[in-house]
Homo-oligomer: A and B are copies of this chain.
Amino acid sequence: MFSQSEENYIKTIYHLAAISDKGISTNSIAKKLNTKASSVTDMIKKLSDKEVVVYKKYQGVTLTDFGKKTAANIIRKHRLWEVFLVEKLDFSWDEVHEVAEQLEHIKSPKLIDELDSFLGYPKRDPHGDPIPDKEGNLPQIQKSLLATLEKNEKGVCVGVNDTSSEFLRFLDKQEIGLGQDIEVLDKEPFDDSYLVKINGKEMTISNKVANNIYIQKN
Q: List chain A positions with a Cβ less than 8 A from chain B.
A: 85, 88-91, 95, 98-99, 102-103, 106-108, 110-111, 114-115, 118
Contacts and interface: CB of A to CB of B under 8 A. Distances in A.
A154 to B, nearest CB: 37
Contact of A102 (B89, B98, B108): B108
Contacts of A108: 98-99, 102
Contacts of A106: 99, 102-103, 106
A121 to B, nearest CB: 14
A110 B88 contact: no
A67 B170 CA distance: 41
A91 B108 CA distance: 12
A81 to B, nearest CB: 10
A8 to B, nearest CB: 16
Contacts of A99: 106, 108, 110-111
A95 B85 CA distance: 23
A89 B110 CA distance: 9
B110 A95 contact: yes
A181 to B, nearest CB: 31
Contact of A89 (B90, B95, B103, B111): B111
